[in-house]
Amino acid sequence: MTHHVFVLGEMKDGTVRSVSIEALAAARKIAGNHPVTGILFGEHANENSDIMIQHGADEVITADHQALRQYTTDGYSQALLQVLPDNQPIVLVIGHTAIGKDLSPRVAAKIGMGLITDIVSLEVVNGKPIFTRPIYAGKAFEKKTFKETSGLVTIRPNNVEPLPKDQSRHGKKSHVQVNIKDIRTVVKDVMKKAGGGTDLSEAKIIVAGGRGVKSAEGFKPLEELADVLGGAVGASRGACDAGYCDYALQIGQTGKVVTPDLYIAAGISGAIQHLAGMSHSRVIVAINKDPEAPIFDVADYKIVGDLFDVVPHITKHLKDDASES
């Protein structure tokens, strides 16, 4: 069946987010030889059109409006509904982010199309896309597809391989005017947390600490290791509840779900709620003094020892290797 596939791109700090590049790769697979259209909203939309085209879009539609400078559910949903075509079979792909999780059910309900969220892989069988998503906190997986001709999917970050950047690709660019009214929520100011660094949900490398760090000061060795590796710092709920770090760093069933290439768990026992948020990382390294810690059951590499001895040793070794190369 012929589908016109759309991707709503997200931008952070003036550039397209990695998960939107991955969404383009998913859209390209769904579309086959049919067109993929990227959509960008906000003041930096025009300047990022080429990035979308170079990563798989055949066309990019942009729109700017005062109500689109910061994300609001009302603003983005109104703009998106005006951009998408009426009465045509479409597939809309969005990143499974805070924005994607908030926006997707509203748009799907307004258009009357199916919604499949938190996709970790997809395949196309006889021209029909089949999506795989985790259930029961990652203990099992289900395959789903759309009953009707149209549908909306959200893609979990770090699960779909992005297409290589191709600077020779060219595509159509168009800018549209949107009419946005009745905004019930207004963003007055955005305050970024100090030391926010790399977004946890998109980080390729994460160094996470649990109660074993013992204090806020105990996160410093983890931050140094993450800095050397070019990664992000995360935490278990236990560390957050103890006041060692901000809840923005929490990974687990009630925090962020992450799938980095490398996950280093230091001083984390491995409660089932935490495992639900990180157990599908590609490589897991666990550091814990307790050889019976549950985290070792999912770890690829296990280090039994004090994190305050092990982590600085790894950091020093990496720095020495870097200075010699």
Q: Is 251 marked as a binding-site residue?
A: yes
Helix locations, the chain, DSSP H = 18-31, 49-54, 73-83, 98-111, 220-229, 237-241, 272-278, 307-324
Look up tokens 């998109």; give the residue. Answer: 202
267 is in an annotated binding site: yes
**What 8-state DSSP symbol labels residue 165?**
P
Distance of alpha carbon 6 from alpha carbon 152, whole angstroms: 9
270 assigned to a ligand binding site: yes
CB 100 within 8 A of CB 71: no
88 is in an annotated binding site: no
Q: Report strand pairing: 36-41 vs 59-63.
A: parallel
Neighbours of 325 (CB within 10 A): 5
Is 87 marked as a binding-site residue?
no
Q: How many helices and strands (H and E) does the chain possess? A: 8, 17
- Is 254 annotated to bind a ligand? Reply is yes
Q: Single out the residue of 158, 258, 157, 248 nearest to residue 206, CA to CA.
A: 258
Q: Is 271 annotated as a binding residue?
A: yes
Instruction: Report the distance separating Cα 237 and Cα 284, nearest Å.
Output: 18
Question: For the CA atoms of 278, 283, 284, 285, what is the dihedral angle to 10 degrees?
Answer: -150
273 is in an annotated binding site: yes
Interstrand relation of 128-135 and 140-144 (parallel, antiparallel or unpaired): antiparallel
Residue 249, H or E segment:
none
| Residue 242 CB-half CA count within 13 A | 17
Q: Which of 269, 255, 204 is nearest to 232 (CA)?
A: 204
User: Which residues define the annotated binding site for FAD?
Assistant: 211, 236-237, 250-254, 267-274, 288
User: Which residues define the annotated binding site?
Assistant: 211, 236-237, 250-254, 267-274, 288
